[in-house]
Structure 1
Amino acid sequence: MQVTVRYFAGARAAAGCREETAPAGRSLDDITAELADRHGDRLAAVLRVASFLVDGVTCHDRRTPLPAGSTIDVLPPFAGG
């Protein structure tokens, strides 16, 4: 069972892909650590400052296990206003 991780803007460039999957049943903290290990320092830096939506809702508890079928949106800080 999987969750889908979608990257936007600078996160997409750092990851080198638009989206990928990760195992379900793990927390957002666990998943982002795995993604940083998989893609390296550039993505790790983006993940440290990014905001995350889980199924379209801002994620405030990064330690709760995510169910299969969830979608995580990785949103780096955006310039402008």
Structure 2
Amino acid sequence: MLTIRYFAGARAAAGGVSTEEISAGSLAELVQILTDRHGEQLSLVLKVASFLVDGLTCHDRRAALPTDATVDILPPFAGG
């Protein structure tokens, strides 16, 4: 089971959920599950989000996810 943590706009797009547990084998599978669960608005955020898997950036959405990993979903941030 993965622990998913949503930040900023990802949290808003997930309906205010900050953390949830999901079973998925890869980021691609996780994105599909989260899109099915939370809808199109989160899907749009996930397309441009960064993912941290146990604190490390993961760019390969097909890579296997470790069992019991924590996945942080970070939308692009605006700043000055």
State whether TM-score is above 0.5: yes
Question: What is the match of residue 8 of structure 1?
Answer: 7
Matches within 5 A, 1:1-80: 2-16=1-15, 17-24=17-24, 26-80=25-79
Distance 2:33 2:62 in 1: 14
CA offset digits 1:7-48 (Å, max 9, x no partner): 000000111200111114x11011111101110011001001
Q: What is the deviation of 1:65?
A: 1.6
Three-state SS of the structure 1 residue aligned to 2:51 is strand
For the aligned residue pairs, the C-alpha RMSD in angstroms reads 1.0
Give the whole-Å Cα distance in 1 for the aligned partners of 2:39 and 2:55.
Answer: 26
CA distance in 1, matches of 2:35, 2:62: 17
Structure 2 unaligned blocks of 5 or more: none
2: CA distance between counterparts of 1:61 and 1:45?
Answer: 18
Any stretches of 5+ residues in structure 1 without a counterpart? none
Q: Report sequence identity in percent.
A: 62
User: Shift of residue 60 of structure 1?
Assistant: 2.1
- What is the CA distance between 1:69 and its match in structure 2? 1.1
Please identify runs of 4+ aligned residues in structure 1 that moved more than 4 A. Answer: none
Q: TM-score, normalised by structure 1?
A: 0.91
The C-alpha deviation readout for 1:48-74, integer Å capped at 9, x for no partner, is 110100000000221112122100000
The total of aligned residue pairs comes to: 79
